[in-house]
Homo-oligomer: A and B are copies of this chain.
Amino acid sequence: MDDGVISVPAVLGARAMARCDLLGAPPYSEAADQLTRRFLTPAHRAALDRLTDWMRAAGMSVRLDAAANLIGRYEGAAPDAAALLIGSHIDSVRNGGRYDGALGVALGIDCVDALAMAGRRLPFAIEVIAFGDEEGSRFPASMTCSRAVAGTADTTVLGMKDAEGTTLADAFAAFGLPNVDLGKAARKPREVLAFLEPHIEQGPRLEAEDLPIGVVTAIAAQKRLLVRLTGTAGHAGTTPMHLRRDPGPAAAEAILVIERICGAGTDGLVGTVGRISALPGSFNVIPGAVEFSMDIRAETSPVRDAAVAEISTEIEAIATRRGLGVTIELMQDLAESPCDLALTTLLEAAVRCVGVEPRRLPSGAGHDAMVIADLAPTAMLFIRCKGGVSHNPAESVRADDCVTALNAMLAFIDNLERDYRP
């Protein structure tokens, strides 16, 4: 390896992957035969205990913040230096994969271990952080913990209940954090130099281009919409085809419009119909209404919005031609969250430094980085995952890719030390 990058034992990086595998079963999972590690459960606690051991072994001092984020700090050359945060989330979806989130935390620990083994101290501290709740798989909100760190948490979430009726506040208390005050987890901007989130890609692009890692440019702009087409319900046996006002074929045309427009799009444009239902939903009744969801994303809001407008116009024309009613309701509107350009350029240089052509790609999924962007400049490193599969037990990464990712992270730290002027 050239360019002053620390040469680390090949076991590091691969060890991060092995540690995720260890965390994929009880006591670090709520279930014996799958990985489910939801926020503030005993499985979450067990994982934090294990991470604490690993952080300490790597030379970090460890604390649990007011929002149940675990933070290991590796001091810089001077005390109280601003910190580079490295990490991701430690919770999982139900029956999830082992690397989504956890790999970013484990790579952060290996990164500090490599620095500590080399005896290096930097002009900034490094803090490895394991956010508690990115997925929102227990309570009906997500990224609660990174919002607390960024100082943007909404305290009303503490009244939310899980499926068993436990409030978030009570769950914090049971976890050892009574009278929780999310505001106390907020960091001051001057304490945080930058945030680096390593994360599996959860998509197939890197694999398709035979690249182990990639650099995220932005988290995509997203709109969720609900389309409802209304006609006239009728008897499936007694209504001739030419006398029907059936919203089903209109919905079918609409789905093909979405596929065509997004398929021809640029800038990461994607469109998904994940949910569809016909009402009343009987075998022998012509539907009176059909509802379906649209999830439209692109790297930029203008590209996304142009697609939504074009699709909506075509759906309205279909409804008019078929004599149907139509409503298109906007359910969620998330603007794109660009990663910091200067930081991303340093990360790109680091990727090139470890012999990989730096591929810039957007993230179609949301991440803690988009929340932390309110606090500090952020960069994201994507790691290839098999088949792009995630949120699934089949989630899979390669050990050599994890080593490559770790080396790129260490090169990034070098670049940051040498070149970064925030």
Hey, which bits of chain A sit against chain B, CB under 8 A? Answer: 201-205, 208, 220, 222, 224, 233-243, 246, 248-249, 251-256, 259, 262-263, 265, 268-278, 281-287, 290, 293, 295, 297, 331, 363-366, 388-392
Contacts and interface: CB of A to CB of B under 8 A. Distances in A.
A52 to B, nearest CB: 31
Highest count of chain B CB atoms <10 Å: which of A255, A287, A388: A255
Contacts of A270: 236-237, 239-241
Nearest to A263: B241
A241 B259 contact: yes
A118 B41 CA distance: 83
Given A252-B253, A277-B276, A388-B234, A243 B204 contact: yes
Could you say how many copies of this chain the assembly holds?
A: 2
Contacts of A235: 202-203, 364-365, 388, 390-391
A364 B285 CA distance: 12
A263 B242 contact: yes
A352 to B, nearest CB: 24
A219 to B, nearest CB: 9
Highest count of chain B CB atoms <10 Å: which of A204, A238, A269, A281: A238
A243 B282 contact: no
Given A208-B243, A255-B252, A283 B287 contact: no
Contacts of A246: 259, 272
Contacts of A274: 236, 278, 281-287
Highest count of chain B CB atoms <10 Å: which of A256, A259, A284: A284
A282 B275 contact: yes
B233 A392 contact: yes
A285 B240 CA distance: 36
